[in-house]
């Protein structure tokens, strides 16, 4: 096991859309929740679950992103985001796509790491990128505090894009990883600290297969009491169909005009589409990366979900 028993902020993650240094002046509160995910792995789903559990109602006065901002994203000036969080009187739940080695760590915060089969995350990202409003980049550029090289054009061939992406280290400076953090690297930064009582793991596949049980588990981990008679209504509000039907309020930063189609953010919510798209060569590279970069138990959990092996 890593001799360092608690996470340390040793990396600076930055790209054309996010910068982990925006956490520098964050002022934590003892019961804050940090929702930590690689892109397209269930971020908005967990934000919605937290909103439902915290407020215990199914309709909200403001868009979800105003309750739970993506602190790293460059779409708003960081002072505006921090002031927005400072003004909140509810229990706060904050979104990040920064791996744990790029985040500040606090003993009294709760970190929820949500993961997904990397192949599904990759395909979901392809639809995600097609749905981004190109005009939003002007807002992002205005909030960049240091020179950043725009990402290189991606290969036209989907398989080549996937092989480059799955092979990327996920660490700062990797040219293959300019758009999003590697799922492999991301989850691994949390995995080595799974012995800590405030770091918890959820998997997209488990949210799909038994949303009620996973929401109940989340409530227990967050020390939130839920009336069993009220739970089915909350679970229904967290369903894929319900969130897609309310996309104008739930899709991240929809109020900022980031999407060509807000409902399109919720593409399909399904798993396994990679089977009809990725080649044998692509899958071979995937298995090679999983086998060489992850311990077997983590590789299995990352692909399938289920009960997480305990730290030794």
For position 234, which CATH number holds?
A: 3.40.50.300
More confident residue, 15 or 28: 28
Model pTM score: 0.90
Note whether residue 148 is domain-resident. Answer: yes
- The whole-number average pLDDT for the span 17-28 is 93
Tell me the CA distances in angstroms from 236 to 123, 133, 158, 210, 298, one per residue in order. 26, 30, 35, 12, 30
Please tell me the distance from the alpha carbon of residue 3 to that of residue 19, in angstroms, as a whole number.
28
C-alpha to C-alpha distance for 113 and 92, rounded to whole angstroms: 16
Host domain of residue 46: 20-304
Which residue out of 12, 97, 203, 300 is catalytically annotated?
97
Q: What is the pLDDT of residue 147?
A: 63
Domain assignment present for residue 142? The answer is yes
Mean local confidence (pLDDT), 38-61: 94
Q: How many structural domains does the chain have?
A: 1
- Residue 163 inside a domain? The answer is yes
Give the model confidence (pLDDT) of 224-244 as tens digits: 999 999 999 999 999 988 988
Q: Say if residue 54's pLDDT is above 90.
A: yes
15 in any annotated domain: no
CA pair distance 298, 179, nearest whole angstrom? 24
Overall average pLDDT of the 299-312 stretch = 85
Give percent of the chain above pLDDT 90: 62
Per the CB < 8 A criterion, the answer to whether 46 and 35 are in contact is: yes
Question: Is the pLDDT reported for residue 265 higher than 80?
Answer: no
pLDDT tens for 61-79 read 999 999 999 999 888 899 9
Across the range 186-202, mean pLDDT stands at 95
Mean pLDDT of 91-117: 97
Is 198 within a domain?
A: yes
Strands 110-115 and 199-203 come out as: parallel
Going from the C-alpha of 209 to that of each of 122, 187, 191, 194, 230, the distances in angstroms are 21, 21, 23, 23, 20
Report in angstroms the alpha-carbon separations of 120 from 70, 105, 172, 282, 286: 22, 29, 23, 13, 12
Q: Is residue 2 part of a domain?
A: no
Q: Which of 101, 65, 98 is nearest to 258 (CA)?
A: 65
What's the mean per-residue pLDDT of the chain?
87
Q: Is the pLDDT of residue 148 over 70?
A: no
Top pLDDT among 188 and 265 is at 188
In a domain, 310, yes or no: no
What does the pLDDT read at residue 131?
57
Residue 195 appears among annotated catalytic residues: no
**pLDDT at residue 200, as a whole number:** 97
Which residues make beta-bridge pairs with 95? Answer: 35, 70
Domain membership of residue 7 (yes or no) is no
> What is the SS3 string spanning the chain?
CCCCCCCCCCCCCECCCEEHHHHCCCCCCCCCEEEECCCCCCHHHHHHHHHHHHHCCCCCCCCHHHHCCECCECCCCHHHHHHHHHCCCCCCEEEECCCHHHCCCCCCCEEEEEECCHHHHHHHHHHHHHCECCCHHHHHHHCCCCCCCCCCCCCCCHHHHHHHHHHCCCCCCCHHHCCCCCHHHHHHHHHCCCCCCCEEEEEHHHHHHCHHHHHHHHHHHCCCCCCCCCHHHHHHHCCHHHHHHCHHHHCCCHHHCCECCCHHHCCCCCCCHHHHCCCHHHHHHHHHHHHHHCCHHHHHHHHHCCCCCCCC
CA–CA separation, 55 and 53 (whole Å): 6
Q: What's the whole-number mean pLDDT along residues 139-144?
A: 64
- Residue 174 pLDDT exceeds 80: no
Q: Which residue has the tokens 């602190």?
A: 71
- Whether the predicted pLDDT of 25 surpasses 80: yes
């Amino acid at each position: 096991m890593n001799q360092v028993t608690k996470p340390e902020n040793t990396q600076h993650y930055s790209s054309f859309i996010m910068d982990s240094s925006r956490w520098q002046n964050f002022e934590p509160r003892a019961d804050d929740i940090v929702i930590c995910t690689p892109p397209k792995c269930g971020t908005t789903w967990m934000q919605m679950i937290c909103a439902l559990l915290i407020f215990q109602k199914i309709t909200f006065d403001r868009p979800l992103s105003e309750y739970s901002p993506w602190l790293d994203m460059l779409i708003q000036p960081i002072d505006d985001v921090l002031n927005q969080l400072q003004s909140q009187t509810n229990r706060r739940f904050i979104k990040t796509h920064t791996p744990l080695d790029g985040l500040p760590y606090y003993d009294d915060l709760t970190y929820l790491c949500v993961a997904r089969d990397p192949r599904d995350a990759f395909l979901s990202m392809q639809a995600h990128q097609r749905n981004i409003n190109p005009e939003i980049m002007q807002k992002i550029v205005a909030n960049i505090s240091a020179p950043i090289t725009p990402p290189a054009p991606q290969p036209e061939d989907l398989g080549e894009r996937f092989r480059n992406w799955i092979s990327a280290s996920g660490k700062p400076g990797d040219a293959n990883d300019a758009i999003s953090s590697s799922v492999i690297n991301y989850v691994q930064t949390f995995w080595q600290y799974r012995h800590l009582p405030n770091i918890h793991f959820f998997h997209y596949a488990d949210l799909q297969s038994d949303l009620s049980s996973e929401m109940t588990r989340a409530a227990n981990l967050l020390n939130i009491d839920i009336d069993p008679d009220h739970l089915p209504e909350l679970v229904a509000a967290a369903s894929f169909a319900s969130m897609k039907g309310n996309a104008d309020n739930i899709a991240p930063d929809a109020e900022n005009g980031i999407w060509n189609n807000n409902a399109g953010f919720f593409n399909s919510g399904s798993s396994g589409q990679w089977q009809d798209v990725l080649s044998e060569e692509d899958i071979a590279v995937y298995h090679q990366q999983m086998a060489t970069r992850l311990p077997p138990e983590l590789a299995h959990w990352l692909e399938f979900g289920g009960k997480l092996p305990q730290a030794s």
